[in-house]
Amino acid sequence: MQITLTRPDDWHLHLRDGDMLKGILPETTRDFGRAIIMPNLVPPVVTGEDAQKYRARIMAQLPEGSDFRPLMTLYLTEGTDPEDVALAAKSGLITAVKLYPAGATTNSDSGVKDIENVMPVLEKMAEIGLPLCVHGEVTDPSVDIFDREAVFIERVLAPLRTRLPDLKIIMEHVTTKDGVDYVSSSDNTAATLTTHHLIINRNHLLVGGIKPHYYCLPIAKRESHRLALVKAATSGNAKFFLGTDSAPHTDPAKESACGCAGVFSATNTMSCLAHVFENASALDKLEAFTSISGPAFYGLPPNASKITLTKQETPVAYPAKIETGDGPVTVFDPDFPLFWRVDQV
Ligand code: NCD
Ligand code: ZN
């Protein structure tokens, strides 16, 4: 069995910097044409100038012959200058701006505490048609970690949606049925779904011993939510597309008394997704999810090149870890063998 797809894009990716960037970049450029590059470096990518420099560091590490294009983003802070954002967008340097509620996830300390303080930037973005990527979780300590996405929709996203109907919003890494339902029924709003949230639920994380390599934010929810995500991804609804949120941390940083959040899935994402879509009898919807609906929402053409996915008799081999100059990074383990092989056409 073989299918041919337009080369996929990753609409939510962490490439990091330095030795880590160098070590993990080929894992993405092998299969993907473009990716939205998350700006949560230390210090974050805040200004157009920061993005220019970060883009140059990524380009310098591209494997030979790769025509991968990093789509840069700015990290929204309460000090962000709307004019700097507009300039970076106009020159084609950036594709989106990322909103992290302060303290919501890895390296989000410089994020937004009160959305009122960034309204001038958001208004400018709505005016010029620049999309906003949102980490949709409240940080209120009184809200349970499993409810933080649903509460964010109610407290922050829905009011913002009403206030700026022209702002293009991408609710990133949706993990709940609440998120799926909200996005399905809201204009000018789309969502990315990760590979791992289509595969694991919170039992994978917690039953039979704690599994740090399944810990990410937003945290995996109960099975009924996972099923809602699979249904959205495999439906062909153009509001839902792939953003792996592949987020490398070294093994010592994950396997720790206070382990970092992030799942690294760049290496085997396409094999995992073919498995999920085949199981849902929806292989014919895979290309829309990985290669068509994302560019359509961002107003970009699909990639010109193709890949093939071939189902083998024997499991495909992929490394358990990627060795980087920073240390080893464990690759996402879907907990079942993968039979779909990816080839470049
Ligand atoms: C991401 C990271 O490590 O940068 N971690 C994660 O669990 N997804 C940050 C993020 O996207 O929330
Ligand atoms: Zn992320």
326: confidence class by pLDDT, cuts 50, 70, 90 = very high
- Domain boundaries in the chain? 2-344
- Taking the centre of ligand 2 as the mean of its atom positions, its distance from the CA of residue 12, in whole angstroms, is 6
Q: Is 105 in the pocket of ligand 1 (CB under 6 A)?
A: yes
Q: Which amino acid is at 105?
A: T
Q: Is any atom of ligand 1 closer than 6 Å to the C-beta of 247?
A: yes
For residue 314, report the distance from its CA to the centre of ligand 2, in Å.
Answer: 32
Query: Is the overall model pTM greater than 0.95, yes or no?
Result: yes
Q: Flag whether pLDDT at 49 surpasses 90.
A: yes
Cis peptide before 101 (omega within 30 of 0): no
Residue from 12, 14, 326 to probe ligand 1 pocket by mutation (most atoms less than 8 Å from CB): 14
CATH numeric code, 2-344: 3.20.20.140
Cα-Cα-Cα-Cα dihedral of 115, 296, 25, 218, to 10°?
40
For the four alpha carbons of 235, 15, 40 and 221, in that order, the dihedral sign comes to positive
pLDDT tens, residue by residue, 200-252: 999 999 999 999 999 999 999 999 999 999 999 999 999 999 999 999 999 99
- Report which ligand 1 atom has the smallest distance to the Cα of 14: 4
The predicted pLDDT at position 105 comes to 85
Residue 312 CA, ligand 2 centroid: distance in Å: 31
Q: What is the percent of the chain with per-residue pLDDT over 90, rounded to a whole number?
A: 97
Tell me, using a 6 A CB cutoff, whether residue 310 lines ligand 1. no
CA angle, 297 then 49 then 39, to 5°: 50
Q: Are 15 and 40 in contact (CB under 8 A)?
A: no
pLDDT at 272: 99
How confident is the model at residue 109, as a pLDDT? Answer: 87
Does pLDDT of 107 surpass 90? no
pLDDT at residue 242 in the model: 99
Given a cut of 90, is residue 52 above it in pLDDT?
yes
For 53-80, how does the pLDDT look when each residue is reduced to its tens digit (9 = 90+)?
999 999 999 999 999 999 999 999 999 9
pLDDT averaged over every residue in the chain:
98
